[in-house]
Structure 1
Amino acid sequence: MSDTLAGNPSSGSASAKAGEPVLSVRGLTTSFLVDGAWRTVVRDVSFDVMPGETVAIVGESGSGKSVTSLSVMRLLARDSSRIKGSIVLNGKDILALSDKQMRQVRGKDAAMIFQEPMTSLNPVFTIGRQISEALTCHGDITRAAARAETVQLLEKVRIPNAASRFDDYPHQFSGGMRQRVMIAMALASRPRLLIADEPTTALDVTIQGQILDLIKVLQEEEGMSVLFITHDMGVVAEIADRTIVMYKGEAIETGATADIFRNGRKPYTRSLLSAVPRLGSMAGQGWPLRFPVVDVETGTRVEPAEVADTVDRGSEPVLDVKNLTTRFDVRGGLLGRKVGAVHAVENVSFDLLQGETLSLVGESGCGKSTTGRSITRLIQPNGGVVRLEGKNILDLDTASLRHARRSIQMIFQDPFASLNPRMTVGAMVAEPIVEHGLATGAQAREKAADLLRRVGLSPDMMKRYPHEFSGGQRQRICIARALALDPKVIVADESVSALDVSIKAQVCNLLMDLQQSLKLAFLFISHDMAVVERVSHRVAVMYLGEIVEIGPRKAVFSDPRHPYTKKLMAAVPVPDPSRRGIRRNLVADELKSPVRPLGYVAPPRRYDEVSPGHLVRLDDGM
């Protein structure tokens, strides 16, 4: 392996810092025991991370990037994994340390942030206790001092009302909030190396921007090094000094980030760069546009045909929502009395035409997912009207609601959690057809096979179980199941947020193809502004449970009027390494809480129509 591919700073990386490497990896080869045989998943990977430097390892699912980071931290099961090569962290030979010595290294010399915070946090302990434990394990500190330091860490990662949330449990936080808790925990002992494994993949753009800014600030203050694992080339451009591209377990290209972006030599590198949706790429386009398709073997980019306009503008809305309100009780005191309410959705109104995609965008906790669940009555709203094909589904009894749900289906963010691990894929797709009496078992299986074929999977896969599929394939299965009852409306709740860029493009193209052929209406819930720009006919921006701006996609993106809409767009990472020094200063303002006292009445809102169909709330309420 050449010096350049090994990531040796002496090979010409302009951003490498002086001194000995904080982390030096040589010839790393990691294998797993599968069916009695050793299977190599990372092969001969070498790189250095210098003091104060950020090195990004980029690649799609299955490329070996996460296994590389887990190998460095010795977090793989000893009985079923084998690590060869050399890993030197802070002058310590990691592979020669005992388990007890390794526990002292983790958190102090190096800390790790994982992609899925709920599986990393202990559900039976408060978040304050879990962060304080990271402080007390690696230093002589009193309980009171640990609590004060924990509150400061929570404030630093913008947890609103940090002091009062010290004693809350993980399930009481949103996904974005839980990830911020994990970041606070990782930073507690001021490690010299922070390993961040897809830490911003499922986060809102503003929170992602804050986390990226926070990491940059901490590097300047502490001289901390960062090993950043991601598939998002926009994030790589904004944070990384050097980039390592991994493909099928090998480091196929390494160099200064600016060089990789300008002169990526490998076809796979060029395909990663081409697949990134860029904000502003839809200027002048009136309706959605498919994503380009890139061949990872050749790097050839194929521009897709335009999507025909599918919206039937002369028809009645297939979904009409008026003054939808959903609140959750907040209880306190010894008797657990109601002391307030979370105003998750407050007087939200919009309609959705046949063949149209309306995107709901906003930060975690803004109420967009609660809106989707309220419309389908997975959550019972407190008030409002939801007319689906002319019927108010909020007034329906259980039997009528069950029948109405044939017309509105939901696709969730995590496909693995949405699928029954004990049922075959064919059985899961066929089940709703049989349950609603639309076909016999044989007919349902035949339709399930056709649906799998329609979403790009083979009918031969019907006998497989969910764990036998990749993340992108599992999401396709969820889409097939959602189509089983021939719905008119599909609520897609963050359905592509955690997927690799190329898989995300494929799934979005699939949804647009299905919309065109079946005249489906989509309520597309997302925080990914670049994807929203590409797939939407109209966009509604939510903040603290209310819509602050709504209008045609072209109008909202070319002429955003509300301060919060502008803030969302400013936070989108751009795949341009020249922006690496930019600070968005998104951490300066304080997130407001949606919790209101008993008897609170939301003030009346006024909207200004700045152009046809483009409405902006006048009283910003921010």
Structure 2
Amino acid sequence: MADPVLSVRDLTASFRTEGRWREVLHGVSFDVGPRETVALVGESGSGKSVSAMAILRLLPRDSCRVGGSVRFDGRELLSASDAEMRRVRGDSVAMIFQEPMTSLNPVLTIGFQIAEALIQHRGLSRSAAEAEALRLLDKVRIPAARTRLHEYPHRFSGGMRQRVMIAMALACRPKLLIADEPTTALDVTIQAQILDLIKSLQDDEGMSVLFITHDMGVVAEIADRTVVVYRGRAVEAGPTARIFDAPAEPYTRALLAAVPRLGAMAGRSRPLRFPVVDRDTGAEGAMPETPDTVRAAERPVLEVRDLTTRFDIRSGLFGRVTGRIHAVERVSFSVAAGETLALVGESGCGKSTTGRSILRLIEPLSGSVLLDGEDVMALDPKALRVRRQRMQMIFQDPFASLDPRMSVGAAVAEPLLINRLATRREARQRAEDLLAKVGLSPETANRFPHEFSGGQRQRICIARALALKPRLIVADEAVSALDVSVKAQVVNLMLDLQADMGLAYLMISHDMAVVERMSHRVAVMYLGEIVEIGPRAAVFGDPQHPYTRKLLAAVPVPDPARRRDRHGLADDEIRSPIRAPDHVAPERHYREVSPGHVVQLWGADWAGPAARDVAA
């Protein structure tokens, strides 16, 4: 058997906090063989990223101690000099970080940044380095690479920025690539492209990969072996197929039970809670059937008709309008009490703009939004403020939407005080009751946002959204950045609250597996338009539009036996929604393919006397 490229033995890491050393890694050991992909999996805080940073000695020396052994290609890295480590980093070992925008210098072109690594490690001239940078951009399949070589990072989408990071990592042809959550925040189609790209480049370059993630679907897609990390310890390791088929540790079983599996809802008409598995014992708790909450007989809580939102693009000395972003184009749908309508699609398709336009956080150009029969678009600012009590929003990043200087109890109570619906004492009591309702102790009201985990912060945001007893909640990617087990807890909480309070949810998401688990109906958006809408079972079981099929085909399957070598997805970005100032959007027609299941017509296949046009 060939010697491992990377051998980690009894790796420990301790951080100095409040004058004491606190150990966070407790003797982690694993190997990565030649051309092998090893996945390091676990929840946030388990020690995955700290392990990677310790391997490359990127942790601060003054506040961190690292022990054990890290041997790369036979060399001990923990005792290597700083000069030796600089030669190793970016040359023999490369790393892709989770957030490419914070890893790229915003004031330097991407071509300059890739060339910098080539000049530093391979001694190339500036012109030779730029030529090689262009070759690398072509290799990671960036469209029109020659024209984009001298563009800045902000001109690229998230998926394309991640491709740039991969190009930088591969510049010096490393023997080992460490990828730290490289696909966590990406849409399913872009995620599938990045996974295919890493696998293809691995085959071409013969490198080994250490892939750090909490997404078990991604693990099943890409990893040869898996190491499960829990509370700073490697609790289980082995071939990926064995880990999925017969997990030995309770924590591994809990992780796998929390993974949403596309197709698991076949034959079910209502949303379904995730099973709750004890992490320490592996025991699975009772999973009560989600009650039927939809009140279809009543008038819908939300009725959206022909909603259109555009943004002017101005340039020149006098700010002349040179183009318009058609972010939302004639979108129509309704949401009943107790119902969840999921709005799905890639980043840039108009999902979030639709949600913000409904609440008039962004002013739409035209259309109507009826909340309990009242047109929100016709309200003056004072009346709108009152009506917003009945419609609330949960944002994607809970930390960014909470004031770091305000205790969570004050944050939850604030809507009641601003709207003069309670005294300070009553608001405080109501805040504690709401925190208890979302599974947090009332005593936590005095703590601040930084003292909570990501999942707990999202629970706080849900409690704040419930403070005014709304009829409608717009949940904008409310669980996309959470670990699988925390995601399952928050989804279960939202389903329980819907059953108790009859809430109508407009759920904005690109996570198709969670959407299938949680929604009653699904609307698929592309370039600001709804291209397919219908009952969840119909859209997932019999997708009609090519774009819907593309989204579903890109979802990683958490089953190594069904691993696909290639997704066969196109590498292009979502088309631009920018149009000329005088552009007139074409009239769209729809066909009802089954009761409530409506698809936008496209191509010649849908033309003919049998087609029946219906409103979306």
TM bin (shorter chain): over 0.9
CA gap of 1:171–1:378, structure 2 versus 1, over 3 A, is farther
Residue 100 of structure 1: CA displacement? 4.1
Which residue pairs with 1:452 in the alignment?
435
CA contact (8 A) 1:352 1:358 kept: yes
Say yes or no: does 1:606 pair with 2:589: yes
CA contact (8 A) 1:174 1:365 kept: no
Residue 401 of structure 1: CA displacement? 2.3
CA contact (8 A) 2:409 2:431 kept: yes
Which residue pairs with 1:3 in the alignment?
none
Say yes or no: does 1:363 pair with 2:353: no
Which residue pairs with 1:305 in the alignment?
288
Which of these residues, 155, 176, 188, is aligned with residue 205 of structure 1?
A: 188
Partner AA of 1:47 in structure 2: F
Whole-Å Cα distance in 1 between the matches of residues 396 and 110 of structure 2? Answer: 24
Which of these residues, 481, 504, 507, is aligned with residue 521 of structure 1?
A: 504
Which residue pairs with 2:178 in the alignment?
195
CA gap of 1:187–1:403, structure 2 versus 1, over 3 A, is farther
Aligned pair count reads 604
Deviates further, 41-50 or 457-466: 41-50
CA gap of 1:420–1:121, structure 2 versus 1, over 3 A, is farther
CA contact (8 A) 1:329 1:340 kept: yes
The SS at the match of 2:399 is helix
Which residue pairs with 2:611 in the alignment?
none
Whole-Å Cα distance in 2 between the matches of residues 448 and 266 of structure 1? Answer: 38
Which residue pairs with 1:394 in the alignment?
377
Which residue pairs with 1:116 in the alignment?
99
Which residue pairs with 1:265 in the alignment?
248
Please report the TM-score for the alignment, with normalisation by the length of structure 1. 0.92
String of CA shifts for 1:344-397, please: whole Å, max 9, x gaps. Answer: 222211111111100011112111112112222222222222222233323333
CA gap of 1:402–1:151, structure 2 versus 1, over 3 A, is farther
Which of these residues, 504, 529, 540, is aligned with residue 557 of structure 1?
A: 540
Which residue pairs with 2:398 in the alignment?
415
Alignment of 1:534-573 (within 5 A): 534-573=517-556
Partner AA of 1:433 in structure 2: L
CA contact (8 A) 2:141 2:571 kept: no
CA contact (8 A) 1:497 1:526 kept: yes
Partner AA of 1:529 in structure 2: M
Which residue pairs with 1:490 in the alignment?
473
Whole-Å Cα distance in 2 between the matches of residues 590 and 190 of structure 1? Answer: 26
Whole-Å Cα distance in 2 between the matches of residues 363 and 208 of structure 1? Answer: 11
Whole-Å Cα distance in 2 between the matches of residues 213 and 575 of structure 1? Answer: 16
Alignment of 1:268-347 (within 5 A): 268-332=251-315, 337-347=320-330
String of CA shifts for 1:486-529, please: whole Å, max 9, x gaps. Answer: 11111111111111111111100000111111111111111111
Deviates further, 110-119 or 333-342: 333-342
Which of these residues, 112, 122, 134, is aligned with residue 139 of structure 1?
A: 122
Residue 89 of structure 1: CA displacement? 2.4
Partner AA of 1:298 in structure 2: T
Which residue pairs with 1:70 in the alignment?
53
Deviates further, 253-262 or 451-460: 253-262
The SS at the match of 2:377 is helix
Which residue pairs with 1:592 in the alignment?
575
Say yes or no: does 1:60 pair with 2:43: yes
CA gap of 1:99–1:558, structure 2 versus 1, over 3 A, is same
String of CA shifts for 1:386-425, please: whole Å, max 9, x gaps. Answer: 2222333233332222222212111111111111111111
Say yes or no: does 1:37 pair with 2:16: no
CA gap of 1:620–1:65, structure 2 versus 1, over 3 A, is farther
Deviates further, 424-433 or 183-192: 183-192
Whole-Å Cα distance in 2 between the matches of residues 195 and 314 of structure 1? Answer: 54
CA gap of 1:55–1:397, structure 2 versus 1, over 3 A, is same
Which of these residues, 4, 17, 32, is aligned with residue 49 of structure 1?
A: 32
Which of these residues, 437, 456, 459, is aligned with residue 473 of structure 1?
A: 456
Which residue pairs with 2:239 in the alignment?
256
String of CA shifts for 1:181-219, please: whole Å, max 9, x gaps. Answer: 433433333322111111112211111111111111011
CA gap of 1:465–1:365, structure 2 versus 1, over 3 A, is same
Q: Identity across aligned pairs (percent)?
A: 67
The SS at the match of 2:389 is coil
Partner AA of 1:358 in structure 2: L
CA contact (8 A) 2:413 2:428 kept: yes
The SS at the match of 2:71 is strand
Which residue pairs with 1:103 in the alignment?
86
CA contact (8 A) 1:87 1:93 kept: yes
Residue 144 of structure 1: CA displacement? 5.3
The SS at the match of 1:301 is coil
Say yes or no: does 1:506 pair with 2:504: no
Whole-Å Cα distance in 1 between the matches of residues 579 and 570 of structure 2? Answer: 24
Say yes or no: does 1:406 pair with 2:375: no
Whole-Å Cα distance in 1 between the matches of residues 459 and 48 of structure 2? Answer: 24
Which residue pairs with 2:613 in the alignment?
none
Partner AA of 2:32 in structure 1: V
Whole-Å Cα distance in 2 between the matches of residues 161 and 386 of structure 1? Answer: 41
Which residue pairs with 1:377 in the alignment?
360
Please report the TM-score for the alignment, with normalisation by the length of structure 2. 0.93
Which residue pairs with 2:607 in the alignment?
none
The SS at the match of 2:204 is helix
Deviates further, 255-264 or 459-468: 255-264
CA gap of 1:167–1:269, structure 2 versus 1, over 3 A, is same
CA contact (8 A) 1:472 1:503 kept: yes
String of CA shifts for 1:149-201, please: whole Å, max 9, x gaps. Answer: 55555565565665555555545555445444433433333322111111112
CA contact (8 A) 1:158 1:590 kept: no
CA contact (8 A) 1:157 1:184 kept: yes
Whole-Å Cα distance in 2 between the matches of residues 589 and 47 of structure 1? Answer: 37
Whole-Å Cα distance in 1 between the matches of residues 289 and 453 of structure 2? Answer: 28
Q: CA RMSD, aligned part only? A: 2.2
Whole-Å Cα distance in 2 between the matches of residues 177 and 443 of structure 1? Answer: 50
The SS at the match of 2:405 is coil
String of CA shifts for 1:427-481, please: whole Å, max 9, x gaps. Answer: 1111111011111111111110000000000010011111111111111011111
String of CA shifts for 1:42-82, please: whole Å, max 9, x gaps. Answer: 11111111221100011112211111111112221111111
Which of these residues, 352, 355, 362, is aligned with residue 335 of structure 2?
A: 352
